Structure 1
């Protein structure tokens, strides 16, 4: 049954608005996503969706299960719960997933304090596209359920497991199980294209300004960099990460 909400003072709306902030998401163990593509991706995992919300001038898509709790809201309410300047008028409230690293995982991406939401979302999407088995979010990394991360990942949240963890512990654990760990650095590193990656592998990407923690780099089996042939000082972490991941995954499939 379609329920209607017109006022931003409605208690439901107040609950939804809290999901725009990390504290609210942590308290409710839920998050909000918006846009037709993302909500359709979410609808393929119906156990994760608690609510679908549509603006009053937007038709409920056929792919939304009729058994789901659906709210029709005013433009004012839609704007209040949106994180974008011009929303598409459709939202979903989803439960956070308890991801686990697959037992047979052979490729890992470790993220050290990635702070920009757009970067994190793009990295998750790239890891998904490259076929990486798991993403480990280290301390200082932005909340993966931040609305900007959700939009940048474009549905990859539903395709690839990601978990929060201490990267020092993970590096030690991975090395003990025979996984080769590669850091990324501008100094004391080898150009990536002259290195033949060993498998299984883990790649560490670092903070946008400071790079990977030097103490983590010391634990890596080898540190790599992407050569700069033009005049730019450096590459964005998402671009460098994409180049390196595809290098590793291409070698794995060749």
Structure 2
């Protein structure tokens, strides 16, 4: 088994770039995963692992058997190397290099006749994206679509905040125009969370093919979404402000849809 003890090792320098830079992840078509649970979910989600790196004082070689059949290369690393590559303060001692998947909207396949889809337009904060993915996982919805993405889905903060759900959700990305075209071709109703020309969300029928669309807290949804919606919807609020965290709003809408569908 290969062993690396120096942070000056060329591979470690490359992996450090992979962790920190979206450009490097796009160029190589690979990304870094930290944590045993996240690696297990990546395998479950059909991601191909290229390399696994472990610090034996935190993650024993015996535990590698969980991932062995999925891994091309295993590397034992020193504490210094692990600390260089690890993103989280709470350490488990294991990382993996995985191949990215293409998530273009043109390749999204919706198998159900009556799908429930969550769409977020231009979310920027990795923590919000991770929370949206956790909500989607909890509700077992059919797909999450990111319109006009501002960050790549393999950002370590998204992996961390999604608790690995980024690997097991069905996810697609595309421009707002491409996604609207996709939804219309599939005869999926579009419900946009917006202040303008809106009705209370609970008055609508989400038991039919439905896409729930949320925008950023700062500017909301673009005009293109609002003009193409089946109905704009609003979550009535009784306080002093007129917006809430996007992941909270999405959770309210998604679980109302699930309630109407009797949580099927």
TM over 0.5: yes
Residue of structure 1 equivalent to 2:6? 7
1:134/1:162 contact within 8 Å kept: yes
Q: Is the 8 A contact 2:147 2:173 kept in 1?
A: yes
Instruction: Provide the C-alpha distance between the structure 2 equivalents of 1:66 and 1:200, rounded to a whole number of angstroms.
Output: 39
Contact 2:119/2:147 (8 A) holds in 1: yes
Q: Is the 8 A contact 1:114 1:208 kept in 2?
A: no
What is the TM-score when the length of structure 2 is the normalising length?
0.88
Residue 47 of structure 1: how far off its partner (Å): 5.7
User: What SS class does the counterpart of residue 19 from structure 1 fall into?
Assistant: helix
Structure 2: runs of 5+ lacking an equivalent? none
Q: Secondary structure at the match of 1:240?
A: helix
Q: Alpha-carbon deviations, 1:173-201, whole Å to 9, x = none?
A: 31243210011112321111122225111
Displacement, 1:92? 1.1
Shift of 1:218: 1.1
The answer for the alignment partner of 1:137 in structure 2 is: 146
Does 1:199 pair with 2:198?
no
Q: CA deviation at 1:111?
A: 1.6
Matched, 1:55 2:55: yes
Counterpart among 224, 228, 235 of residue 219 in structure 1: 228
| Contact preservation (8 Å) 2:120, 2:147 | yes
Q: CA 1:208/1:79 → structure 2, altered by over 3 Å: closer, same or farther? A: farther
CA pair 103-236 structure 1, distance change in 2 beyond 3 A: closer
Q: Is the 8 A contact 2:149 2:173 kept in 1?
A: no
> Does the Cα contact within 8 Å between 1:131 and 1:249 map onto a contact in 2?
no
1:36 aligns with 2:39: no
Aligned partner of residue 68 in structure 2, secondary structure: coil
Q: Give yes or no for the alignment of 1:98 onto 2:102.
A: yes
- The whole-number CA distance in structure 1 between the counterparts of 2:214 and 2:50 is 34
Equivalent residue, structure 2, for 1:87? 91
CA contact (8 A) 2:54 2:76 kept: yes
Asked if 1 retains the 8 angstrom alpha-carbon contact of 2:53 and 2:76, the reply is yes
Task: Tell me the distance in 1 between the aligned counterparts of 2:208 and 2:69.
Answer: 46
Provide Cα deviations, 1:50-95, integer angstroms capped at 9, x if missing partner: 1111114121314121673111111111111122234322111111
Change (3 A) 1:215 1:36: same
TM (normalized to structure 1)?
0.91
Distance in structure 2 (CA, Å) of the matches to 1:140 and 1:91 = 26
Q: Is the 8 A contact 2:158 2:166 kept in 1?
A: no
Task: Name the counterpart of 1:16.
Answer: 15
Alignment of structure 1 residues 53-202 onto 2, 5 Å: 53-58=53-58, 59-60=60-61, 61=63, 62-65=65-68, 68=71, 69-99=73-103, 100-105=107-112, 106-197=115-206, 199-202=208-211
- Segments of structure 1 that go 5 or more residues without pairing to the other structure are none
- Give the aligned CA root-mean-square deviation in angstroms: 2.0
